[in-house]
Structure 1
Amino acid sequence: MLLVIAAAAFLLLPTSDYVETPGEADNIRNFMTVDGQRDQTKGSFRLVSVYLSPANRLDWLISRVNDTYSITPREEIQGGVSNRVYAMISEYQMKTAILSAEQVAFKAAGMADQLHTTYRGIYVASIAKNSRFAKKIRIGDTITKIDGRHFNNASGYQKYLANMPKGRMIELTVLRQGKILTYTGKTVHLANTKDKDYPKGRSGIGISLVDNVDVMTQPAVAVNVGQISGPSGGLMFSLQLYSQLTSENIKKGRNISGTGTIDDQGRVGEIGGIDKKIVAAQRAGSTVFFAPYVKPSKALAKLTGGPTNWQVAQKAQKKHAPKMVLVPVRNFQDALNYLKDGTIIKTK
């Protein structure tokens, strides 16, 4: 008996890794209102998530025989930042996914004149160890100016810094919790930035960044996703919002799931855990699943270190949801075309 108790206690001991399993496939109508009203039409667009939690030794054993369990090193998930910072970044990613979805949906609905954006600056998502600002700026800061200059997108800031010599002194204007701060420091050379435009590589301040944009719409859009975070709901948010703005019957009563980031131009990007999301969608009764599509190549596999979302999704669909229609999408329009007339892009 004592041996059994000891074995059970051992299996429940925590590890330094995370376990990823299928999460929920939530109906987005429960999260979103347009002009204070929820969608009442038949069918559903579903936001698919994964459960991510600290792994124990039992999780590790289960993952050996059950491919819906994946064990991933904490460093790979969080990128070396603390739990607090990781949560903050994930929440901001969800915010930007919603804002991008609003921009895409309003433009696609022919309502661009009822959408107003204000560019605040660049949101600091991570800081390199070699950055001369590493002990000054913080993750979550918004850089609003460099040397007194404000640009209208992240590309403007990057181009301003790109050709500066390494070690050039610059001044950052930073917005932090409502306060304006200024810091000076030197530029650094950015690794792996050589290309045809910058044959010697680019200079910068040593951060990864995303645009910080405020969006105002008429009618007003409100989204409350509770504890769900991350950027992968962008595509599905945009489809749900487009449906409500236009009153077009693009769902046609179907139970539709999908995943993928979206930018303000409607481009769909890859995400993590797509195999688990297909399982979650299947459990929720979805008959259609939108998956980000990037053409596979040896060069891409070498760069990313693994298969594309589409390749993983095909394998998972075949094993776990063979009756579900798997639809590849490169952008918002690909998804909309399928919903309207069944068009599917060629992948071969």
Structure 2
Amino acid sequence: MKKNKLVKRLLLIFVALVAVACVVVPLPYYIEEPGDTINLKELITVNDQKDDQKGSFSLTSVGIRRATVFTMAKAKFEPFYEIISAEDLTGGASDEEYLQIQQFYMETSQNFAIEQAMKLANKPYEMKYKGVYVLGVEKNSNFAGKISIGDTITKADGKEFTSSDEFMKYVKSQKVGQEMKVTYIHDGKTKEATEKLIKLPTDKKPGIGISLTDHTEIESQEKVKINAGSIGGPSAGLMFTLEVYQQLVDKDLRHGQKIAGTGTMDSEGNVGRIGGIDKKVASASASGAKIFFAPNDEITKEMKKAQPGIKSNYEEAKAAVKKLDTDMKIVPVKTAQDAIDYLAQMK
């Protein structure tokens, strides 16, 4: 009898441990789900003034969390929930590197949004080049372990540059195996590293072995502050643009409406495709938004070939609204000007 009781007790402990593991132990997967819809009045000020017009412009987000057995099972039955592998989400980057890249994309989206708002409002500004932002470091790079994702390279051999293109031309004009001194900023501190250049597999030219982009910052007499906190990624660009523009021109663009949306913003004012738009539509609808701006992106033949059945963000957003059975209106936009034109005709 004592032996049977011991077996039962051990079995109960085992079952309890399995149940805890299903709920707590993380797996190499993530769950994407509807995130927050955030009123941009809370995040943005222009010349130390808040937006006091009626209605709201709101960014929408996708919630991402590590998956467990329990949450993966739940995601199979929840609408607008999706299971995604760690590799697909981060591209092989560590969690820290992924967050750094997402923060850079957020910073860039803010710069482009402010730039477009300045252009649309006819306000003077200057885009200042800060250096080369490091998006990735090749494993065979001699600078690996010194230069990291998220660092900003400011000089090569003591020379400064005005763009990443100019920087790359200089590096490629050197010789494979030649030593190069690179000055960079890491965690706010200026550092230097001297290593040999490698032969790049793409064009057989000498290189440091990094993927890069311009690190820029906008300067203007207009004091625009965007406090996005821990929100990352580039997808709030359009909505940042509209909120900053409304404050710069000090006009009621919304006419009291609660307006949400998504889409990247580039230096030409184009609204770009984003991921997880169905989840953002669900979030916006739950928040009470009545209008949702969605990128009306072009689907090329190459994209259709690579991913049969692919739809534009606008088509995905319309499908999500139909699934939700909501009266929220989806408005397709290709540029920031398209969104402003739509707002003008709402009167």
Structure 1 distance, partners of 2:174, 2:313, is 37
Q: Which residue of 2 aligns with 1:316?
A: 320
Contact 1:279 1:321 in 2 (8 A): no
Q: Give 1:157 deviation, angstroms.
A: 3.0
Asked if the contact 1:132/1:188 (under 8 Å) is kept, the reply is no
Q: 8 Å contact 1:189–1:203 — kept in the other structure?
A: yes
Residue 68 of structure 1: aligned partner: 80
Structure 1 portions without partners, runs of 5+: 192-199, 343-348
* Structure 2 partner of 1:234: 237
CA distance in 1, matches of 2:79, 2:204: 41
CA distance in 2, matches of 1:237, 1:332: 10
Match of 2:130 in 1: 120
| Cα distance in 2, alignment partners of residues 256 and 19 from structure 1 | 27
Contact 2:183/2:190 (<8 A) preserved: no
- The aligned residue for residue 138 of structure 1 is 148
Is 2:38 aligned against 1:34?
no
Asked if 1 retains the 8 angstrom alpha-carbon contact of 2:285 and 2:326, the reply is no
Question: Quick one: distance in 2 between partners of 1:337 and 1:162?
Answer: 45
Check conservation: 1:292, 1:328, Cα contact below 8 A: yes
Amino acid at match of 2:323: K
Q: Where do residues 203-214 of structure 1 align in structure 2 (5 Å cutoff)?
A: 204-214=207-217
The offset of 1:317, in angstroms, is 2.4
Which whole-Å deviations, capped at 9, do the CAs of 1:46-86 have from their partners, x for residues lacking one? 01112111111122122222231111111221222222222
Whether the aligned pair in 2 keeps the contact of 1:278 and 1:317 (CA below 8 Å) is: yes
Q: Which one of 324, 334, 342 corresponds to residue 338 of structure 1?
A: 342
Residue 21 of structure 1 aligns with which residue? 33
Q: 1:240 to 1:135 in 2, by over 3 A?
A: same
Distance, in Å, in 2 between the alignment partners of 1:316 and 1:57 is 27
Between 207-216 and 5-14, the greater mean CA deviation after superposition:
5-14
Question: Is the counterpart of residue 223 in structure 1 residue 226 in structure 2?
Answer: yes
Deviations 1:136-162 (A, max 9, x none): 311121112335443323333345556
AA matched with 2:91: G
Counting matched residue pairs gives 332
Give the alignment of 1:269-284 within 5 angstroms.
269-284=272-287
Give 1:1-348 correspondences, 5 Å limit.
2=12, 8-9=19-20, 11-12=22-23, 13-111=25-123, 113=124, 115-160=125-170, 170-176=180-186, 177-191=188-202, 204-303=207-306, 307-320=311-324, 322-341=326-345
Q: Deviations for 1:269-324, whole angstroms, at most 9, x for unmatched residues? A: 22221111010000011121122232113312345685443343232222125422
SS where residue 312 of structure 1 aligns? helix
Letter in 1 for 2:341: N
Over 3 Å counting, the alpha-carbon distance change for 1:162 and 1:310 in structure 2 is: farther
* CA shift for structure 1 position 166: 6.2
Evaluate the alpha carbon distance shift between residue 152 and residue 69 of structure 1 in structure 2; reply closer, same or farther with a 3 A threshold. same
How far residue 220 of structure 1 moved from its aligned partner, in angstroms, is 1.0
- Whether the aligned pair in 2 keeps the contact of 1:288 and 1:325 (CA below 8 Å) is yes
Find the structure with the greater CA-based Rg: 2
> 2:66, 2:26 → 1: CA distance?
7
Residue 22 to residue 157, structure 1, CA distance change in 2 (3 Å) = same
Quote the sequence identity (%). 37
CA RMSD of aligned residues (A): 2.8
Instruction: Say whether the 8 Å CA contact 1:190–1:203 is kept in structure 2.
Output: no
Please tell me whether the aligned partners of residues 260 and 292 of structure 2 are also in contact (alpha carbons under 8 angstroms): yes
